[in-house]
Amino acid sequence: MHFQVETPAGECFVLTFARMIPMGEVEAMCEELADIFDSRYEGNVQSMWRKLPAEERGRVGKLLCVLPDKMSERERIGRRIRQLREERGMLGKELAALVGIDPANLSRIEKGTFSPGLDILCRIAAALGKRIIIN
C-alpha cells in the first residue's frame, strides 16, 4: 500500500507498506501517519521510522520503502538551479547556451515541469560551478 505524506517542512514522500490496508481503515491510517510525521519528523524518514516505538510501527505495518515525491523533487531541484543561476547574475538563455539546451527546456526544468536526464543535470551543475552529489 502506498501513501503520500508531506512533512511539516513541506517535503513530500511516498511510503510503501508491506500490508494491504482495507478501504475502511485508510482514513485512520492517514491520520496515524499525519500524527507520526507532525510529532516526530526531524529531517530523515528512515531514521524517524527506526526510532518509533514498536507499538506505533505495529499499528501502521512494516515500512518497505520511502521515495521522494517526483514532482516535489523536480520543483526543489528546479528552484535551486534558478537560485544558483540568479546568484551568478546569469540569464536563463545564457545558462541554456552554456549547457547546450533550448532556453525553453531550461525554463521547464527550473519550474519543475520537465525531468532532465543526469547528463543534462551534470552539465547544468558544471556551468554553475557545482557538482551533483548523492548522499
Per residue in 48-76, pLDDT (tens digit) is: 888 888 888 877 778 777 776 676 788 88
Per residue in 38-51, pLDDT (tens digit) is: 888 888 887 888 88
Q: Taking a C-beta distance cutoff of 8 angstroms, is the pair 112, 78 a contact?
A: yes
Residue 11 has pLDDT above 90, yes or no: no
Structural domains counted in the chain: 2
Stated pTM of the model: 0.58
Do 82 and 56 belong together in one domain? Answer: no
Residue 126 CA: distances (Å) to CA of 10, 25, 113, 115, 116: 28, 48, 22, 18, 15
The pLDDT of residue 135 is 67
Do 45 and 87 belong together in one domain? Answer: no
Do 26 and 61 belong together in one domain? Answer: yes
- Answer yes or no: is 132 within a domain: no
Do 61 and 89 belong together in one domain? Answer: no
